[in-house]
Chains A and B, each alone.
Chain A
Amino acid sequence: MASLLKQLNGELAAVAARARRSVVQVHSARYGAGTGVVVQAAGLIVTNAHVVKKRYPRVTLADGRTLRAQVLGYDADEDLAALSVEADGLEALALADSRSARPGDLVQALGHPWGVVGAATAGVVVALEAGWLEPPLRGRDWIVADLHLWPGNSGGPLLDAAGRVLGLNTMLIGTGLGVAVPAHRVGAFLGRVAPSRRGAASGYVL
């Protein structure tokens, strides 16, 4: 039993450690940073639109480099933005098949709550809809998870048990629920705004 928990802890930590190498800070306001995820080795990053408040936000990569980013795509309605930085050989995270997610699936979120860089929190998928949201947000696909998120988590990855991006953490409900844009909506958005880059390097699964 103890060794089982030890193994479980080891695997949770490994997922977080691997994902942390693909998680970036997005600096776009005077204070604080949002989170972004590298989805292509050639410098394609996805985050929330509400994190991006400038045309050229700065992005701090996991290796510590801070680069100027270009906004490739911006969809306020979907709350998604695609950024591109002049870098290559970055470690990218693959998108999961979010349509097959089920309530009870274990998930982790990575982000920078309160400016704590690369912080992890774990929980389970609560629901794949968010009936509490007001229209037009209600009725869309969401992934709701019982996670302790804070504003700095915005745009960060919601990871499944295999360490793939199940969604992008976008909203909070109270202090114990996170609402994420599911990966299939992120994939569709990236297909629209960065079509030429699709499939380049370690791509994402649509």
Chain B
Amino acid sequence: MGDNGNILAQLSNALSATVEAVSRSIVRVEARRRGHASGIAWSKEGLVVTAHHAVQRDHDLRIGLPEGGTVEAELVGRDPTTDVAVLRARGATLHPPTWAEADSLHVGHLVLSVGRHDTHAQASLGIVAKKDGAWRTPTGGHVDAFLQTDILVYPGFSGSALVDAEGRAGGMNTSWFLRRSSLTLPAATLRRVVGVLLEHGRVRRGLLGVGAHPAQLPGSVRQDLEQHAGLLVVSVEDESPAEAAGVLVGDLIVGLDGEPVQHLESLLFLLTEERIGKAVPLRVVRGGRLETLTVTVGERR
């Protein structure tokens, strides 16, 4: 298109200018043995948000700055359930991006992923492939919107920013949940998780104190409950909430706080921060009969 190339050249320049502008908010996270990851400046005072799975150690962390140079960093906290970690870069002034909320992103929108696992920033281009409402990660993390792009995620891109056409950060990309394809944690989720991590250093998770294994329900209860499986209690920890509630080895847990429990994931989903310290009904099948116990959910430490 050479001479008559107009839109293509304009688009190309707009994309690289967008990358350049937002890259001052993108840092390098040196926190694992092989290959660095990316991170997004969260506050001027040095907070950085990155992917939990890319922070493989708690000490000896460093942040590579957009203007060059590397500073030491400390771990503020991490939430494996949403794959978010927060670091604080020492003695660095950062430039947080402008954030865009998930409702401004639509399927088909052009988006960039901007990371920095090397000295300079890297970018790749794609479109928003799928968008849906709030969801729970397999380990029980709450994510405010399901955002998937067709951007390829390769080592070092976790912790990169999803950047919209206006140069705003729409979230943090991670390969943790979908492996080969990019999933984006929206800005609202980052705000919430960072808030909790700053306050508590971790996202609090509930605890019952049982070892359990998924098992089929006896036919009679299966019909009453309209569910096929429950969790067979194989151990009860001493002085645990489950022990206090009278849970016995051999009980089949089928529900917690009015919600069905069919497998380990569904129990994890339910052991949220909000339920810690609360007395909630725990439904079990004992000796072929349904019983309801009351358990005060503890906190996992």
The verdict on A125 contacting chain B, using a C-beta distance below 8 Å, is: yes
The verdict on B118 contacting chain A, using a C-beta distance below 8 Å, is: yes
Given contacts A106-B12, A163-B2, 14 further A-B contacts (CB under 8 A): A8-B11, A12-B1, A102-B19, A103-B114, A103-B122, A104-B20, A105-B13, A106-B8, A126-B122, A126-B123, A131-B118, A131-B119, A163-B1, A173-B154
Name the A residues within 8 Å of B155 (CB-CB). Answer: 132
Give A131-147 as 1s and 0s: 1 = Cβ < 8 Å from B's Cβ atoms.
Answer: 11000000000001010
Kindly provide the distance from the CB of A144 to the nearest chain B CB, expressed in whole angstroms. 7
- Are B8 and A8 touching (Cβ within 8 A)? yes
Name the A residues within 8 Å of B6 (CB-CB). Answer: 7, 11
- Are B123 and A162 touching (Cβ within 8 A)? no
- Are A14 and B4 touching (Cβ within 8 A)? yes
The verdict on B121 contacting chain A, using a C-beta distance below 8 Å, is: yes
Name the B residues within 8 Å of A18 (CB-CB). Answer: 1-2
Give the contact-size bracket for chain B.
35 or more
Count contacts on A: residues with CB < 8 A to the other chain.
33
- Are B1 and A124 touching (Cβ within 8 A)? no
The verdict on B152 contacting chain A, using a C-beta distance below 8 Å, is: yes
- Are A104 and B19 touching (Cβ within 8 A)? yes
Closest to B163 in A: A104
| Distance between Cα atoms of A4 and B165 in the complex (Å) | 15
Kindly provide the distance from the CB of A126 to the nearest chain B CB, expressed in whole angstroms. 5
The verdict on B235 contacting chain A, using a C-beta distance below 8 Å, is: no
| Distance between Cα atoms of A127 and B124 in the complex (Å) | 9
Which A residues are within 8 Å of any B CB, using their own CB?
4, 7-8, 11-12, 14-15, 18, 102-106, 123-129, 131-132, 144, 146, 160-164, 173-174, 176-177
The listed residue (A14, A102, A164) touching B20 by CB distance below 8 A is A102
| Distance between Cα atoms of A15 and B5 in the complex (Å) | 8
Name the A residues within 8 Å of B126 (CB-CB). Answer: 146
Whether A144 touches B122, Cβ cut-off 8 Å, given contacts A104-B20, A163-B2, A176-B152, is yes
Kindly provide the distance from the CB of A94 to the nearest chain B CB, expressed in whole angstroms. 9
- Are B16 and A105 touching (Cβ within 8 A)? yes
The listed residue (A104, A105, A131) touching B117 by CB distance below 8 A is A131
Closest to B126 in A: A146
Name the A residues within 8 Å of B23 (CB-CB). Answer: 103
Kindly provide the distance from the CB of A25 to the nearest chain B CB, expressed in whole angstroms. 24
The verdict on B120 contacting chain A, using a C-beta distance below 8 Å, is: yes
- Are B4 and A106 touching (Cβ within 8 A)? no
The verdict on B31 contacting chain A, using a C-beta distance below 8 Å, is: no
Whether A124 touches B120, Cβ cut-off 8 Å, given contacts A106-B12, A161-B5, is no
- Are A129 and B12 touching (Cβ within 8 A)? no
The verdict on B125 contacting chain A, using a C-beta distance below 8 Å, is: yes
Name the B residues within 8 Å of A161 (CB-CB). Answer: 1, 5, 8-9, 11-13
Name the B residues within 8 Å of A131 (CB-CB). Answer: 117-119, 156
- Are B7 and A4 touching (Cβ within 8 A)? yes
- Are B125 and A11 touching (Cβ within 8 A)? no
What are 17 inter-chain pairs, A to B, with CB distance below 8 A? A8-B8, A8-B11, A11-B6, A11-B8, A14-B4, A103-B19, A103-B123, A104-B17, A104-B19, A124-B112, A124-B125, A126-B124, A129-B119, A146-B125, A161-B1, A162-B9, A163-B5
Give B1-38 as 1s and 0s: 1 = Cβ < 8 Å from A's Cβ atoms.
Answer: 11011111101110111111001000000000001000
Name the B residues within 8 Å of A7 (CB-CB). Answer: 6-7
- Are A103 and B7 touching (Cβ within 8 A)? no
Name the B residues within 8 Å of A163 (CB-CB). Answer: 1-2, 5
- Are A125 and B7 touching (Cβ within 8 A)? no
- Are A125 and B4 touching (Cβ within 8 A)? no
Indicate the member of A8, A15, A103 with the most B CB atoms within 10 Å.
A103
Kindly provide the distance from the CB of A199 to the nearest chain B CB, expressed in whole angstroms. 20
| Distance between Cα atoms of A164 and B9 in the complex (Å) | 12
Whether A124 touches B15, Cβ cut-off 8 Å, given contacts A4-B7, A15-B8, is yes
Name the A residues within 8 Å of B8 (CB-CB). Answer: 8, 11-12, 15, 106, 161
Closest to A131 in B: B118
| Distance between Cα atoms of A127 and B18 in the complex (Å) | 14
| Distance between Cα atoms of A132 and B35 in the complex (Å) | 8
Name the A residues within 8 Å of B35 (CB-CB). Answer: 132
- Are B1 and A104 touching (Cβ within 8 A)? no
| Distance between Cα atoms of A124 and B16 in the complex (Å) | 9
| Distance between Cα atoms of A128 and B118 in the complex (Å) | 10
| Distance between Cα atoms of A182 and B239 in the complex (Å) | 66
Q: Which 10 A-B pairs have the closest CB atoms?
A: A104-B19, A176-B152, A104-B16, A106-B12, A161-B12, A102-B16, A146-B124, A104-B15, A103-B123, A11-B8
| Distance between Cα atoms of A186 and B277 in the complex (Å) | 67
- Are A129 and B118 touching (Cβ within 8 A)? yes
